[in-house]
Amino acid sequence: MSDLQTPLVRPKRKKTWVDYFVKFRWIIVIFIVLPFSATLYFLIYLGDIWSESKSFEKRQKEHDENVKKVIKRLKDRDAAKDGLVCTARKPWIAVGMRNVDYKRARHFEVDLGEFRNVLEVNKEKMIARVEPLVNMGQISRVTCPMNLALAVVAELDDLTVGGLINGYGIEGSSHIYGLFADTVEAYEIVLAGGELVRATRDNEYSDLFYAIPWSQGTLGLLVAAEIRLIPIKEYMRLTYIPVKGDLQALAQGYIDSFAPKDGDKSKIPDFVEGMVYNPTEGVMMVGTYASKEEAKKKGNKINNVGWWFKPWFYQHAQTALKKGQFVEYIPTREYYHRHTRCLYWEGKLILPFGDQFWFRFLFGWLMPPKVSLLKATQGEAIRNYYHDMHVIQDMLVPLYKVGDALEWVHREMEVYPIWLCPHKLFKQPIKGQIYPEPGFEYENRQGDTEDAQMFTDVGVYYAPGPVLRGEQFDGSEAVRKMEKWLIENHGFQPQYAVSELDEKSFWRMFNGELYEECRKKYRAIGTFMSVYYKSKKGRKTEKEVREAEQAHLETAYAEAD
């Protein structure tokens, strides 16, 4: 193992009461969080079924009425007296580790709680028109029986369309279709002044169309989106490929699993992901859609991974390291949501015995705990502990640098398993917040095409090795180092995560030119908080928020005069 891969030597850490509370937090999860989660899931399911029972015409009528309420609410706002606009959604409901501290300052709430309907599924145009609070579990339940799906279906059921568009969304098909926002054909946005506009790639609001992704809802309020559908089949034929060697060898095995060196597109799978279990072992999974007839042929193995008593998916995949490469067929919708039940592998920390057969058989149907309830029951001390002693980060890096990223994570954080998922980063006609490396198309690197550079998500979710060994670990400093590494390597950090970036560094990582132009053009400044300030770690007082926005306001309108 090279020096670069050797973890840092750290002194032992003295435990506090918080360590013991976290260790036995499973008691609260078992007796409070899981029962309430199951009840909430059931009530949400009933609400979704009620929504689906309505005609598309009725849903559209309700949508139009709700949009009028949003417009009226914005027009009633007194900019001189009321705070900056944000949604009425409670901070703990958001799926993500970042503290929604901006809502602690006085703000002007706009309720989008009713925007949770699938408005239309157009089989001819292959478009689904949905409201922002529609989640992945809801829309896959509607489309999969039609043998249709969103081009990118994020794995966790609770992830919403609005969050995936305004923030970040990826899935195993992103090496073909790009990130979630790349599959959107039109946005319906209510602007700061209460105007309802429809933004597409080629209409008068095309600049807004390219600025919306990664804007965190700071350009306007998303009230509907038209998203691309693709035809699918009933099953996913999944091949588990074990890879062994050092981290660079694991990285190359991952690249080879989906990016043929000869560029033959027929060899590119429909889905791909990788899991690195330790510094010398990983399993790469490639999937292709398969018909019911193929899956049920004699000799083929069907694995219903969605059943409550089944082994957690990441542990099931790990068996390939012992038994070698194997193939099985998974019902497509169950495959889409394969990581939901155990929240990737975070479930192992939340419930240390949750992966045991007895628990899965007796209580697995209660899983997963709702992330919102986990956050609501953790309190300030526990929340700060997780920021310091836990890592939930995604590093988006050029594919050819994935080996370097793995070595960096091993040395600085030592977190395993690590999730790998490739995605195209398209060269857009208008440069957005994230963009490919200049000149990538001339390098002919493995996985790249003329219109897109292949990136990969390096998902780092778990307690770092030093924390598990009782050693000192500075989570804030580790994140700062990670952000510095990303900036130096043309990488990006999704804004749902905890960030330590100052404003100057934030705009070194992201391109703010188009975003700031749209902030000025559509009068978002003075109405919506800036994306940096919204992502900034720590509490915000009303005075801080107003001063920051006033500085933007004065600069913007001085330039406009």
What does the pLDDT look like over 499-518, one tens digit per residue?
899 999 999 999 999 999 99
CA distances from residue 294 to 149, 240, 317, 329 in whole angstroms, order as listed:
20, 18, 22, 9
As a whole number of angstroms, the distance between CA 97 and CA 126 comes to 34
pLDDT of residue 9: 73
Q: Per mean pLDDT, which range of 20-24, 28-32, 113-117, 429-433 is the poorest?
A: 20-24
CB of 486 within 8 A of CB of 492? yes
Q: 80 pLDDT exceeds 90?
A: no
pLDDT for 141 beyond 90? yes
Nearest-10 Cα torsion for 261, 262, 263, 265: -110
pLDDT at 394 over 90: yes
The stretch 180-195 carries a mean pLDDT of 96
The percent of residues in the chain predicted with pLDDT above 70, rounded, is 91
Q: How far apart are the two ends of the chain, measured CA to CA in Å? A: 60
Confidence at 155, pLDDT banded by 50, 70, 90: confident
Q: Phi, psi at residue 15, to the nearest 5°?
A: -80, 150
Mean pLDDT of all residues in 282-289: 98
Fold assignment, 384-498: Alpha-Beta Plaits (3.30.70)
Measured distance CA(162)–CA(176) in Å, rounded: 22
- Give me the mean pLDDT over the 276-288 stretch: 98
3-state secondary structure of 357: helix
Asked whether the predicted pLDDT for residue 415 surpasses 70, the reply is yes
Dump pLDDT digits (tens) for 294-318.
999 999 999 999 999 999 999 999 9
Q: What is the 3-state secondary structure (H, E, C) of 395-437?
A: EEEEHHHHHHHHHHHHHHCCCCCEEEEEEEEECCCCCCCCCCC
Average pLDDT of 79-100? 70
**Three-state secondary structure of 445-495:** CCCCCCCEEEEEEEEEEECCHHHHCCECCCHHHHHHHHHHHHHHCCCECCC
Binned at pLDDT 50, 70 and 90, residue 560 comes out as very low
Q: Which residue would you say has higher pLDDT here, 23 or 282?
A: 282
Q: CA 30, CA 552: separation in Å to the nearest integer?
A: 47
pLDDT of 189 above 70: yes
CA distance 23 to 20: 5
Dump pLDDT digits (tens) for 248-281: 999 999 999 999 988 788 899 999 999 999 999 9
Residue 557 pLDDT exceeds 70: no
Which of 472, 537, 551 lies closest to 501 in space, CA to CA?
A: 537
Closest Cα to residue 391, out of 465, 339, 281, 456? 465
Looking at the predicted structure, is the pLDDT value of residue 555 above 90?
Answer: no
How far apart, in whole angstroms, are the C-alpha atoms of residue 399 and residue 347?
28
Is residue 462 over pLDDT 90? yes
User: Could you tell me the pLDDT band of residue 523, with boundaries at 50, 70 and 90?
Assistant: very high
pTM: 0.92
pLDDT score at 98: 54
Q: What band does 136 get if pLDDT is binned at 50, 70 and 90?
A: very high
Q: Give the pLDDT score at 81.
A: 81
How far is Cα 23 from Cα 99, in angstroms, rounded to an integer?
22
**Calpha distance 331→289 (Å, rounded):** 10
99, pLDDT greater than 60: no
State mean pLDDT over 363-383: 87
Fold of 58-231: 3.30.465
Q: What is the mean pLDDT of residues 486-508?
A: 93
Q: What confidence score (pLDDT) does residue 540 get?
A: 56
Tell me the average pLDDT across 520-543: 81
Where are the domains positioned within the chain?
A: 58-231, 384-498
pLDDT of residue 352: 94
Would you state the structure tokens that stand for residue 415, as one six-digit string?
A: 């977190």
Distance CA 58, CA 63 (A): 9
Q: Mean pLDDT in the chain?
A: 91
Which of 19-28, 203-212, 447-456, 550-559 shows the lowest per-residue confidence on average (mean pLDDT)? 550-559
E strand segments, 252-310: 271-278, 281-290
DSSP 191-226: -TTS-EEEE-TTSTTHHHHHHSTTSTT-S-EEEEEE
Closest CA relative to residue 23, chosen from 471, 467, 476? 467
Residue 246 is given by DSSP the state S
pLDDT computed for residue 162 by the predictor: 95
